[in-house]
Structure 1
């Protein structure tokens, strides 16, 4: 893991300051601030509709804030070419809109062109192909590198998209509910590979959106709790992920435990009179 003092001294990868986001007259985010430094791995947690994916869209330079400032990799939104900036951010969306039966290797290589489909008449260099194969192996898909997209399980697709996001060697990886639709085996394989990335890419920062704490990798270092578009708590996981904080966030009595680096959530039973 990155030395905490070196991380604190390095320029932030993300800086969000006093952000509001209003859409169709509805305020979705209210005065949200967040700073992510190199080597930190954040979780954005909250109930459905709390604003998690909306905030992730700002972090990925997909949209502008209504008020406040957002800096991604040192560039302030509104003063930079958004499309170019997005090419330096690894954004993993399980709703990837691929409609052709590309092989795993070709899907991963589209991370270099920042496109969903292969660009006509574009061919990767031998070094780029070798990098794609290394990432495919790292994500546990070595035996599936020639498999076609429609034949992949949901878990295999998720890991393929992470390898794709890592192709341009980004400093920031954004994961929007990566375990959506996975069975237990697929979820555990995905979490294991994300945790491996945190060890093999020590300078990489990540932000993962979920509303299931069981989906958090053990290497998660920080968390933000969102409720109704507002930040309820933000900071190191040991300070933020507590039973009381989560009960407030989800408006339900919750008991949180952690075993072998993984979190478990249960409803807290009301005491009997």
Structure 2
């Protein structure tokens, strides 16, 4: 079986804290996954594991058919794009947007190499896919948070990653900015040679239909995983959230409300 990510019996302990416990997760080629969990559930710890920044206390990890311990993790990370809102503040405010995007090819904060014409062509193509070509030649600091997230995704794509992790990309966005960003993510998945997407969130309504599979993570343990349509139901999520909830599906998006609440 050709797995993009294969995690077998992984646990991770830091001092007396058990942050991951016996995690098993396989992502196959061609699948896009949502990773759903509340704050403190272990999502970021698991992402650090996939990127090789944390080493498992127990268990085995393989990414892109490379088993940890048998691969140079620095080289492996070049095939993984990790988009997090925390990166927004690290970029230079006065850089032009296209240079922010192109810098992803070189994995640098700021652009120090002279871009080739092809780099500009690819940057524009990715910005077009994400619906932000109107930002071309703007100062990065003049962009909204939602626009910056689109630029960060385009930046990650410049490195031709095989895995693209979107780590709570809608965090802090208003309703309209969120929907525009989600539309862009949907359009991205329709492009040829799209990398495997891992979409990390604690909001069920952000899980688009393109995320065919969902993993539920609670207190460092896998609570449930499988086809999204089979996971996102009232019984499963009531047990997962440890509170009675009702799941309503509108336009193939999942909305959760506390049972008995209008």
Q: TM-score, normalised by structure 2?
A: 0.94
Deviation of 1:244 after TM superposition, in Å, equals: 1.3
Q: Do residues 35 (structure 1) and 26 (structure 2) align?
A: yes
Query: Helix, strand or coil for the counterpart of 1:70?
Result: strand
Aligned residue among 132, 150, 171 for 1:159:
150
Query: Helix, strand or coil for the counterpart of 1:178?
Result: coil
Q: Which moved more, 1:152-161 or 1:242-251?
A: 242-251
Q: Do residues 252 (structure 1) and 243 (structure 2) align?
A: yes
Deviation of 1:90 after TM superposition, in Å, equals: 1.3
- Contact 2:93/2:139 (<8 A) preserved: no
**What is aligned with 2:100?**
107
Deviation of 1:100 after TM superposition, in Å, equals: 4.0
- Provide the rounded CA distance (Å) in 1 between the counterparts of 2:82 and 2:214: 18
The correspondence of residues 4-19 of structure 1 with structure 2, limited to 5 A, is 11-19=2-10
**What is aligned with 1:5?**
none
Query: Helix, strand or coil for the counterpart of 1:223?
Result: strand
The correspondence of residues 1-273 of structure 1 with structure 2, limited to 5 A, is 11-96=2-87, 97-118=90-111, 120=112, 122-201=113-192, 203-269=194-260
Deviation of 1:218 after TM superposition, in Å, equals: 2.4
Deviation of 1:265 after TM superposition, in Å, equals: 1.0
Q: Which moved more, 1:169-178 or 1:58-67?
A: 58-67
- Provide the rounded CA distance (Å) in 2 between the counterparts of 1:124 and 1:88: 21
Runs of 4+ in 1 over 3 A off after TM superposition: none
- Contact 2:248/2:255 (<8 A) preserved: yes
Query: Helix, strand or coil for the counterpart of 2:214?
Result: strand
Query: Helix, strand or coil for the counterpart of 1:193?
Result: helix
C-alpha RMSD of the superposition? 1.5
Q: Which moved more, 1:55-64 or 1:107-116?
A: 55-64
- Contact 1:39/1:203 (<8 A) preserved: no
Q: TM-score, normalised by structure 1?
A: 0.90
Deviation of 1:203 after TM superposition, in Å, equals: 5.0
Decide whether aligned partners of structure 1 residues 79 and 168 sit closer, same or farther in structure 2, where only a CA change above 3 A counts: same
Q: Which moved more, 1:72-81 or 1:150-159?
A: 72-81
- Contact 2:232/2:254 (<8 A) preserved: no
Q: Which moved more, 1:245-254 or 1:186-195?
A: 245-254
TM-superposition CA deviations, 1:99-123 (whole Å, max 9, x none): 44211111111111112222x3x12
Decide whether aligned partners of structure 1 residues 173 and 201 sit closer, same or farther in structure 2, where only a CA change above 3 A counts: farther
Deviation of 1:204 after TM superposition, in Å, equals: 2.4
- Paired residues, number: 259
TM-superposition CA deviations, 1:191-230 (whole Å, max 9, x none): 0011111111455211111110111222110001111111
Gaps of 5+ in 2: none
Q: Which moved more, 1:53-62 or 1:173-182?
A: 53-62
